[in-house]
A and B are shown apart, each in its own frame.
Chain A
Amino acid sequence: MDSPQMDMPKFRRKKGSLSDETSLDNQPALAGTNQGTTPLTAMPGALPDDHQPATRQKLQEIPAPGESVRDDVAASSTRARFRTPEWFQIVWSNNKARVGIIMLAFFVLVAIFAPWIAPYDPQDSTFLGAQAPSWQHWLGTTQAGQDVFSQLIYGTRTSLIVGALAGLLATFLALIIGMTAGYLQGWVDDVLSFFINLGLVIPALPLMISIAAYAPVRGITIIIFVIGLTGWAWGARFKRAQVISLRTRDYITAAKFAGDGPFRIIFKEVMPNMMSLVVLSYISAANGAIGAEAGLEFLGLGDPNTVSWGTMLYWANNGGALVTGQWAWLIAPGLALAFLTTALVLINFGVDALSNPQLREE
């Protein structure tokens, strides 16, 4: 370990513990997803980079978090290419993550098969309004006479799509900004770090509200963009810290001597070694996006005519669910949001174990 790292611990520990706490802190507010499989399937291709294991063996003596695991994964995934991928086994072997994956799979299935599961068209307002739960309407009907249960089923789609896409946009921005800042350092880092810090301190929801309020149209697309464009700062901060700790490794130096340019090094050498962190922050970002979407729509900044958990709560609040005592209309969307968020948080426990063997459960 060379000097830049030696004089870092003090500084890093502060950062590290802060980010631990942030990630936890995020979890309440954050929420998110989609086919959580998308980010995960992106990994195996990235992991076994043929020219790396040899260099890495040497590095194993260095007790760097993330590094040794990568070796196991890289080494054995070549062996186990035709069985279940190693990364999946690790995530799956974590009890919490297993519960999370099952929960998420359930939500994904519900979203895909919504038309078959939902008893009615969610927009069909021909029923008697403001009815209590019954055999015909398991969760009652809305003020306008739509079936709450059908809305809940279809609402899953909106949350999953927003989480997936807004999370993707935020993670993409975070990757570019965080990795460039961490790798290049110097004035580029100073400028980008300033923007990262700015993004961290500016109150996100008021910012989203002001941007969304000017949008010429209301709807899910605009919400995805607003959330994605405002939600990258946490991820960028994580990635920058990670790159700073990786950039002085031997294999990076080797790549530099081989004449690789900075962007090739960032994406070919550095990124494969932080895939689990990228996935982790993707899931967090998606989680945050799902929460933010519900909040924005609850405030009426979405298109109130789309079916989503956020708009359900918007109508429940404005349509008098409180006064008429329709508890099911009020409780169901919130619980659905909470369970989806919990699923993603639980999966992240397993993803965390990818890069930190201490967290693995045997």
Chain B
Amino acid sequence: MRYFIRRFLFFLLTLWAAVTLNFLIPRMQPGDPAQAIVSKLTGQNAAVDPAQLAAVRSMLGTPNGNFFQQYLDYLGNLLTLNFGLSYSYYPYSVLHMVGQALLWTVLLVGVTQIIGFVVGTLLGTYAAWKRNSFVDTILSVGLSFVGTLPFFWIALLLLFIFSFVLGWLPAAGGYGETAVPGFTWQYIGDILYHSILPAVAILITAPIGWVLGMRNNMIQTLREDYTRLAQAKGLKPWKVAVFYSARNAILPNVTGFAISLGGILGGVVLVETVFDYPGMGRLLFEAVGNKDYPLMQALFLFTTVGVLIANLIADVLYGFLDPRVRKGAQA
């Protein structure tokens, strides 16, 4: 129980830190941040758009209040989920825009990461079990190289080959222009059709970390006494590999899964941008391009909170999977 409480406290603390960081980033520049942002928005001499000014003000809080007052206002706005209006998508609110993009990204990342994790762990298990075999060499050397390929570049190549040269798959968007949104097979099929390329782009690199990590862990656990015992008992080799070695080797991968999520989301921003996929990554890209700071801040916050929640879930899961952590209460 102590373990879970500690993890939850850590979650709350990181959440607070992330929220505060989000508050501080726009204020790190010298001078009045609101003024600086507005002048950046409008260029040197152009007139200030009142809607933009209002949005910046509501994002940054009352400019006259002191720093602490602004911070309290900011926290209050967060609790009521008031992120102001997006000025590149005026008159929509920031929350509305984030809400529209959220599900796309969660589905894309969720599905690809789970597939990547399962496939990667299985391949890693196999590679470690058949260590130094042909398959193992191909897997560990080949994947190491594929892993160095830039994420967004793979996406660009796929786009080039499959949409522009072969014309098999759509080049952009999350669904076709003629598609009627709704809970119909046609619409869902259309979404799947459009998500093939972004998903494949992520899936090419997604399992690599798990293959190599699992292989390393399992080479360790294959040497452990309990593995030897299982072999001595005369169990079938694959049973030993799966139920004794792999089972223990998988543990570090579970925490690794959560921690790597932050890095993965960076890649997703790039992939979504390449495929013009209507998720949070592309929205972030557009918000930066349009200097839509309220939207940008909210997207950063949502992304971070999402990763933190995923971490909390992984920590809790880890506690159930590995009783030693619960007993040791080592955080």
Q: Which residues of A contact B (CB under 8 A)?
A: 10-11, 13-14, 17-18, 20-22, 24-25, 27-29, 31, 194, 197-198, 200-207, 209-211, 213-214, 216, 291, 294-295, 298-301, 313, 316-317, 321-323, 325, 327, 330-331, 333-334, 337-338, 341-342, 345
Contacts and interface: CB of A to CB of B under 8 A. Distances in A.
A202 B21 contact: yes
Contacts of B157: 330-331, 334
Contacts of A22: 256, 259-260
B302 to A, nearest CB: 10
Contacts of B293: 213-214
A28 B284 CA distance: 23
A175 to B, nearest CB: 21
A201 B152 contact: no
A203 B258 CA distance: 11
Contacts of A200: 259, 262
Contact of B216 (A14, A17, A214, A299): A17
A20 B213 CA distance: 7
Interface in B199-216: 205, 208-209, 212-213, 216
Nearest to B29: A214
Contact of A206 (B17, B28, B159, B266): B266
Closest 9 CB pairs of A and B: A205-B266, A21-B213, A334-B153, A28-B147, A25-B209, A341-B148, A203-B262, A24-B212, A17-B252
A119 to B, nearest CB: 24
B300 interface: yes
Given A20-B217, A345-B144, 4 more contacts: A17-B252, A205-B266, A213-B291, A214-B25
Interface residues of B, number: 77
A209 B284 contact: yes
B170 to A, nearest CB: 13
Nearest to A295: B270
Contacts of B285: 299
A210 B25 contact: yes
Contacts of A345: 144, 148
A11 B330 contact: yes
Contacts of B296: 209-210, 213
Contacts of A25: 209, 212-213, 256, 260, 263
Interface centre among A27, A210, A299 (most CB of B within 10 A): A210
A24 B273 CA distance: 26
Contact of B18 (A198, A294, A295): A198
B299 A206 contact: yes
Contacts of A327: 160
A202 B17 CA distance: 10
B160 A205 contact: no
B26 interface: yes
B149 A203 contact: no
A197 B10 CA distance: 10
A147 B194 CA distance: 35
Interface of B: 10, 13-14, 17-18, 21, 25-26, 28-29, 36-37, 40, 144-154, 156-157, 159-160, 163-165, 171, 205, 208-209, 212-213, 216-217, 220, 251-253, 255-256, 258-263, 265-267, 269-270, 273-274, 284-285, 288-289, 291, 293, 296-297, 299-300, 303-304, 307-308, 311, 324-325, 328, 330
Contacts of B36: 216
B227 to A, nearest CB: 15
A337 B153 contact: yes
B256 A205 contact: no
A325 B28 CA distance: 43
A189 B31 CA distance: 34
Given A29-B266, A209-B284, A17 B156 contact: no
Nearest to B30: A216
A325 B165 contact: yes
A228 to B, nearest CB: 15
Given A28-B148, A313-B152, A322-B159, A202 B266 contact: no
Contacts of A11: 328, 330
Contacts of A338: 145, 148-150, 153
B164 A322 contact: yes
A210 B295 CA distance: 11
A202 B262 contact: yes
A198 B14 contact: yes
A25 to B, nearest CB: 4
A198 B17 contact: yes
A177 B21 CA distance: 19
Contacts of A206: 265-266, 269, 284, 299-300, 303-304
A300 B252 CA distance: 36
B152 A203 contact: no
Contacts of A333: 153
Nearest to B18: A202
27 contacts: A13-B220, A14-B252, A17-B252, A18-B256, A25-B213, A27-B144, A28-B148, A29-B263, A31-B150, A197-B10, A201-B14, A201-B259, A201-B307, A202-B262, A204-B266, A205-B269, A209-B288, A210-B25, A213-B296, A214-B37, A295-B152, A299-B273, A317-B156, A322-B160, A322-B163, A331-B157, A334-B153
A185 B17 CA distance: 21
B293 to A, nearest CB: 8
A204 B269 CA distance: 11
Interface centre among A27, A214, A331 (most CB of B within 10 A): A214
Nearest to A17: B252
A322 B161 CA distance: 9
A219 B267 CA distance: 22
Given A201-B307, A295-B150, A299-B285, A313 B212 contact: no
A170 to B, nearest CB: 15
A82 B70 CA distance: 63
B256 A201 contact: no
Contacts of A301: 288
Given A18-B256, A20-B213, A213-B296, A204 B262 contact: yes
A27 B163 CA distance: 29
B300 A29 contact: no
Contacts of B270: 205, 295, 298-299
A342 to B, nearest CB: 5
